[in-house]
Amino acid sequence: MISKKLLRINIAVLSLLIVVYTLGNYLILYPMKFDFLTVISESQPHYLLFILAFFVLISWLISHIRIKNLSPKNRFLLAFTILCGIMLLWIGYYNLSTFFNIRKVITKSENEYIQQAKEDIKNDSIVFKSYGLPIFMYDQETYRKIDSIRSHYGIYLENTGCTVDYIENEGRHKYEEIVTPYLEKRNGKDWNKKMLDEIEKLKKTELHPQK
Does residue 200 carry a pLDDT above 50? yes
Q: What is the pLDDT of residue 23?
A: 87
Q: What is the pLDDT of residue 161?
A: 67
**What are the distances in angstroms from CA 76 to CA 17, 61, 83, 135?**
18, 8, 11, 63
Higher pLDDT, 88 or 133: 88
Range list of β-strands (E), the chain: 126-130, 155-159
| pLDDT tens column, 140-163 | 888 889 999 999 999 998 877 666
User: Which of 62, 78, 105 is the endpoint of a domain?
Assistant: 105
99 and 162 assigned to the same domain: no
12 and 41 assigned to the same domain: yes
Q: How many domains, in total, are found in the chain? A: 2
Please report whether residue 97 resides in a domain. yes
| pLDDT tens column, 48-98 | 999 999 999 999 999 988 877 788 899 999 999 999 999 999 999 999 999
159 and 189 assigned to the same domain: yes
Please report whether residue 197 resides in a domain. yes
Structural domain for 92, as ranges: 4-105
Does residue 211 carry a pLDDT above 50? no
| pLDDT tens column, 110-127 | 999 999 999 999 999 999
| pLDDT tens column, 4-37 | 899 999 999 999 999 999 988 888 888 888 888 8
77-85 contacts at long range (C-beta below 8 A, 24 or more positions apart): 77/2, 77/3, 77/6, 77/7, 77/10, 78/6, 80/10, 80/55, 80/56, 81/6, 81/9, 81/10, 81/13, 81/14, 83/55, 83/58, 83/59, 84/10, 84/13, 84/14, 84/17, 84/52, 84/55, 85/13
